């Protein structure tokens, strides 16, 4: 068996969520799994049963020697969109697998990724455009359906789940500095939504934002929790009657798979903004509250990451300073919750059909392909 080094970009919970879905299957193959990462990625990874975890900020050059040591001791690197670890693994001559759950989103592909042992791109949204543009340039390019966890069906409870995703992304936007999204939306939901039907309302995001929210809203009806782990989140999702979430790809797919009705909250970053647009165009966002409902639509395509994130943060600041806009957002969300029986049934069916149209769950095909690369490299 091989010793696999796993890394995930410190960008909210998306990259690490996909990595953990693959990790479950690699563990069943008998491999040793070691994780290295930082921030929101490390928060989920430390609650997973890795053989070892290392808290390393892969984006910080000062951590290069520590990262190099960890990767040098492994037989293969599996990176979920963490470029620094790929550069290090190339330097060391280690086999490399890249997991890309945002292939549809990119305006360009980093050159070090053109020549690696396996590039796994997840099919989603307008995938074919980038497949035609970048696919021929990437050596060992392989596509799979959405990489999803195994979600057990369970009895629904009178419970609502509110997810803000990771709440921030290192190097791009910081909670309390660039955005106060979580506290602003929580305040809107408390002031404008009737929660009396539900026995339990869970709010989840990253650890320290939850502590901040708990301190700020101590007497609220909300339960602020990480759900213990990614598995714990999936369990709460499967027993909830409705999910309110930012338009993160991973959480959206998990909700579709678990057949949980989704209400999209206003986007909290640029990828959420674009994904919410795409979901709306595909008819997959029947219950959605977008910034475009209240402000001019942003044209983010073709702009640099820092520019597009900055424009979204500016609109979120306008929401933060407008009680009128906050009340309108709250009223629209409340209306969607109270009338969810009118839209939830057809929404669940359409969401499930969309996943099927992408080829079904791609987690096992991805794990099988990784096993093949390991075999080629002499590991069994």
Cα 260-367-204 angle, rounded to 5 deg: 35
pLDDT of residue 166: 80
pLDDT of residue 232: 92
pLDDT of residue 218: 93
Q: Are residues 172 and 118 both part of a single domain?
A: no
pLDDT of residue 152: 85
Identify the segments of the chain with pLDDT beneath 50: none
Q: Are residues 331 and 311 both part of a single domain?
A: yes
User: Do 362 and 146 contact (CB within 8 A), yes or no?
Assistant: yes
Q: In this structure, is residue 106 part of a structural domain?
A: yes
**What are the pLDDT digits (tens) for 198-235?**
999 999 999 989 999 999 999 999 999 999 888 899 99
Q: Among all chains, which residue has been given the structure tokens 């290192």? A: 170
Name which of 279, 191, 217 is nearest 203 in CA terms.
217
Q: Residue 272: enclosing H or E segment and its boundaries?
A: helix 270-281
Q: Are residues 173 and 102 both part of a single domain?
A: no
| Strand blocks (E) in the chain | 3-8, 32-37, 52-55, 76-80, 96-100, 118-122, 141-144, 159-163, 200-204, 222-224, 242-245, 262-264
Per the structure, the count of domains in the chain is 2
Q: Are residues 31 and 65 both part of a single domain?
A: yes
pLDDT of residue 170: 67
Q: Are residues 105 and 231 both part of a single domain?
A: no
Q: For strand 200-204 and strand 262-264, is the pairing parallel, antiparallel, or unpaired?
A: unpaired
Q: Are residues 68 and 79 both part of a single domain?
A: yes
Range of the domain at 343: 159-357
The CATH code of the domain that includes 178 is 3.40.50.2000
pLDDT of residue 377: 86
Q: Take residue 231 and report the two structure tokens written for it.
A: 């598995």
pLDDT of residue 251: 92
Q: Are residues 225 and 345 both part of a single domain?
A: yes
pLDDT of residue 168: 74
pLDDT of residue 244: 98
Q: Rounded distance, CA 69 to CA 88, Å? A: 10
pLDDT of residue 198: 98
């Amino acid at each position: 068996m091989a010793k696999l080094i796993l890394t995930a970009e410190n960008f909210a919970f998306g990259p690490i969520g996909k990595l953990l879905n693959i990790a479950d299957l690699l563990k069943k193959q008998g491999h040793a799994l070691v994780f290295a990462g930082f921030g929101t990625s490390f928060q989920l990874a430390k609650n997973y049963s890795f053989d070892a975890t290392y808290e390393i900020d892969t984006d910080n050059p000062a951590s290069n020697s520590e990262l190099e040591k960890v990767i040098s001791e492994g037989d293969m690197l599996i990176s979920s969109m963490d470029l620094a670890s790929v550069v290090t693994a190339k330097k060391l001559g280690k086999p490399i697998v890249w997991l890309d759950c945002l292939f549809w989103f990119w305006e360009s592909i980093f050159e070090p990724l053109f020549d690696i042992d396996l590039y796994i791109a997840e099919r989603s949204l307008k995938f074919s455009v980038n497949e035609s543009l970048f696919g021929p340039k990437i050596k060992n390019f392989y596509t799979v359906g959405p990489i999803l966890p195994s979600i057990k069906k369970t009895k629904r409870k009178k419970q609502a789940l509110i997810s803000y995703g990771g709440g921030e992304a290192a190097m791009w936007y910081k909670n309390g500095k660039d955005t106060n999204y979580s506290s602003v939306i929580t305040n809107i939901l408390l002031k404008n939504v009737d929660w009396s039907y539900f026995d339990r309302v869970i709010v989840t995001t990253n650890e320290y934002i939850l502590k901040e929210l708990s301190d700020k809203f101590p007497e609220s009806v909300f339960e602020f929790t990480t759900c213990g782990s990614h598995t714990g989140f999936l369990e709460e999702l499967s027993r909830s009657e409705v999910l309110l979430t930012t338009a993160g790809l991973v959480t959206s797919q998990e909700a579709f798979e678990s057949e949980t009705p989704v209400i999209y909250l206003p986007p909290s970053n640029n990828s959420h903004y674009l994904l919410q647009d795409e979901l709306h165009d595909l008819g997959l966002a029947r219950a959605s509250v977008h910034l475009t409902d209240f402000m001019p639509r942003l044209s983010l395509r073709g702009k640099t990451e820092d520019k597009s994130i900055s424009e979204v943060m500016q609109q979120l600041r306008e929401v933060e300073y407008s009680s009128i806009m906050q009340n309108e957002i709250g009223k629209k969300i409340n209306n969607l919750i109270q009338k969810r029986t009118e839209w939830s049934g057809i929404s669940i069916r359409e969401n499930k059909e969309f996943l099927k149209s992408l080829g079904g769950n791609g987690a096992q095909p991805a794990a099988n392909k990784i096993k093949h690369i390991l075999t080629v490299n002499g590991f069994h």
